Structure 1
């Protein structure tokens, strides 16, 4: 029996719609979107034998299958627009062949204040693969981001909201899709910018956190994340 969207738990908060489940099951049921902005699972355990912060392996993180299938299925929902796909430089040989090759546009480098995940080499940056379809144009070609600190027990891959605001704001896309929503940072950025958002998350705990953060973002328009323990934000830059 074929599933419908009503078979999945969903939450509607303002212009944001969130679904709980495997994105590979949900994406074929969704309407067209204008852009994909996502930080998918890296496949860390198989590739480098490491784990996320706090020693946890994220759901679907054992292989790159979820990333490949989710990104490609999400990209199929875009007729004219952009995709921004975060990935760690240490998995470049595995990630790049998994992306829709004919639509590859370039890279953004995010220079991080804090080193990345893992127990061995400390990575100071992450890459964002940029895909373009149908002659879409970026609203800007130079990015800047205010670095924020990781707060509490949100999600091992959580990105600063300021970074996601810069990425989402780089296009004039009205409806943004994140097939690997995590704790909802892309959704919070969409609220900040007045964009519509569809997010999918397989882990119920992170799904609940995402819904809570997005609800708070609507209640407090200038809300990014809870106040950081350290208050020394630093302006950093990214370049295409």
Structure 2
């Protein structure tokens, strides 16, 4: 068994390690919201071939998308939460659902027009449009990971979930799901085996926690204004 490192940042608990080793140690949570490898051989060479501009980000060498999670790992992840949302669910063997989440990336070129997330939610299909077309990204959000999802999209997913007071992401990557959860006042548990992305996730979640704490502090320090027209005031 390899070494697992645990780091607690406010309401976030982050693990550096393989989710196969960490998941059995965890108790149940409300929601599993994650973006596992799809097994479509997304790698550094393919990303570089699509990015022919000088501003293209170099994500280094990676080939972790050679295979999708096994059926056993999918079931292990799902056993840890009541509600599930898995991006790339169309690549996995999952039960039928009434609620696919459709992220329309408003793409051009050879990228997929949409990405799908499978859920077990008792809802109808839902769609969000959020441009994420290579270097053209709505909100000009910084990208840290080649398969990173926009923060707004992850907040949308969490908000749609029937209950997501504690969110688990066993494939945390650069921590976008965690940032979304913290900004929305939820608890988060994340697992990532790549140390580079684990450290990036920690920094992003620390910053999100500072912003939340600052907002809370400012709200507490705000002066109270009495309503002169309230009951009992002449």
Structure of higher CA gyration radius:
2
Matches of 2:206 and 2:197 in 1, distance apart? 14
Give the alignment of 1:9-158 within 5 angstroms.
Answer: 9-45=5-41, 51-52=46-47, 54=58, 58=62, 60-65=64-69, 68-78=71-81, 81-87=82-88, 92=90, 95-97=91-93, 99=94, 101=95, 104-114=97-107, 121-132=110-121, 142=126, 144=128, 147-152=138-143, 154-158=144-148
Which segments of 5 or more consecutive residues in structure 2 lack a partner in the other structure?
49-57, 131-137, 215-234
| RMSD of aligned residue pairs (Cα, Å) | 3.1
Matches of 2:47 and 2:38 in 1, distance apart? 10
Matches of 1:87 and 1:210 in 2, distance apart? 21
2:223 corresponds in structure 1 to none
TM, length-normalised to structure 2: 0.72
The structure carrying a bigger strand percent of its residues is 1
1:206 corresponds in structure 2 to 197
1:184 corresponds in structure 2 to 175
Superposition deviation, residue 58 in structure 1: 4.5
Say if 1:149 and 1:160, in contact at 8 Å, map to a contact too.
Answer: no
Distance 1:56 1:130, change over 3 A: farther
SS of 1:45's partner is coil
SS of 2:83's partner is strand
Which segments of 5 or more consecutive residues in structure 1 lack a partner in the other structure?
224-240
Question: Deviations along 1:22-55, whole A, 9 cap, x unmatched?
Answer: 1111111111011111111121228x99734557
TM, length-normalised to structure 1: 0.70
